[in-house]
Amino acid sequence: GKVAQFSSQAAHTDAMTNYNSWDKKAEELSKQADEEDKEEKKAADEALGLQDGPEGPPIAKAKQMREEMGEHSDGRKKFIAKQEEREKVITHTEPSEEVIVLSGEDETNIGKALRLRGSRGVTYHLKSDLDLLKLFVEDCRDVKVRISCRVTTSFMEVVRCSDVEIRCESNMQMTQCDECNKGPVVVIFSEPETIGDFFHQNCPSLEVCVPGRAAQKFGSDRAAQMCSKHMSSGEYVTEAVVRGEKEFPLQLGAAQNRGGNEPENRDANEPEAERPPCEETKWAEAEAKREEGNNAFRSSDFLQAAVFYTEAIRLNEDLHLAWANRAQCFLRTGDPERAMKDATRCTELAPDYAKGWFRKGMAYHSMERFAMAIPALLKAEELDPKNPQVKDAIKMAQLMARNKGPGEME
């Protein structure tokens, strides 16, 4: 009696806690119910003579939407294939003393964005006959890169690297360096004329060198993004932005004289230093850069579009549209974490802008953080209730949360 009762209770407990089996059974029952519904509808249509009859507007519209979604899916596949064609990822995880040479002799290297990703203990030489679109150095350790080639956009990004040395023999107008907080990251320019500006965040060991001049160490461990501009004096001026609610950025650490050291008793006949542009001018210039980004985005050049949006943000950090646009670029190029940060900044600047919330939700969705995605998408729906794309995204996030779990929370 007691043994049988215990066995019965144990079996009951197993049945109660076997969630996988329960889910499987529920799925089977759901499919069976759907099939029965279809059979009943088919029988009813045949009885009413509607099996080949005219379709009402709702059914016709649903079919049209399915066809459009199929076309969208095909378009996305083509876009992904096109992006893969425009990028090349190179990884070497085995340390080697032999220099790895990348040249234009390999046609697959030409005209592409090159990503040196996850390499360890190697040296790369990008030869002069190579023509790159952009250069990314990501998650590398103990790596040296010599850049002798032309980089069309003059843009380089260094992310999560340590003990990395990069020698620039070509012009590099903008370098972005993020989360390099372990070993040193040293960027060496062959000539002062090739030096550009740096955007950096949490890079305390960032160092910039030019032969014959003292090394410039302006990196910091601050979470805020910093901008270091190269002055004619050879020095760098580093600025951080502090934002108040609905206020213009307040620059910290900016030099009083951006052109270098100038005598206090300047000759009155000398021309005055160029004054910084007024806020209206900055706003107009930022909008112009944003429009360039829009044009690049329409051409599916999302990497170049992101560069233009970054320049727009640099000119006017309160331009919420530029943050939203760059978030969309990061979503298209598979970087949801940065998309989430940009979208969040957009919602802070413009809480009533639906697309900012929508892109924040889609970024969380891409990271499979569905419980974080749903509230952002619901806010987007509240602001733009007639947008079917938002409604579909909410349904998908809810479905994925049920199937995969809510994901990581804050």
Q: Are 407 and 370 in contact (CB under 8 A)?
A: yes
pLDDT for 60 equals 59
β-pairing, 131-138 vs 112-117, is parallel
- CA 333 to CA 355: how far, in whole Å? 18
pLDDT in tens, 313-330: 998 998 899 999 999 999
The closest of 351, 315, 346, 317 to 329, measured between CA atoms, is 346
Reported for 9-14, long-range contacts at CB under 8 A and 24+ positions apart, including other chains, are none
Token pair belonging to 90: 């190179």
- Listed residue (202, 239, 206) closest to 223, CA to CA: 202
Q: What is the mean pLDDT of each run of 10 residues along the chain (410 residues)?
A: 49 48 62 71 60 53 62 60 75 95 83 92 94 92 94 89 93 88 92 80 90 83 80 75 42 36 39 46 82 90 92 90 94 92 94 93 92 94 90 91 81
Which residue, among 161, 175, 168, has the nearest Cα to 194 in the 3D structure?
A: 168
Q: Per-residue pLDDT tens for 329-355?
A: 999 998 999 999 999 999 999 998 999
Question: In this structure, how many other beta carbons lie within 10 angstroms of the beta carbon of residue 205?
Answer: 17
Determine the Cα–Cα distance for residues 37 and 33; give it in Å rounded to an integer: 6
List own/partner pairs for 263-269 with CB under 8 A and 24 or more apart: none
pTM of the model: 0.45
CA 70/CA 65 separation, integer angstroms: 9
Q: CA-CA distance, 223 to 225, in Å (whole number)?
A: 7
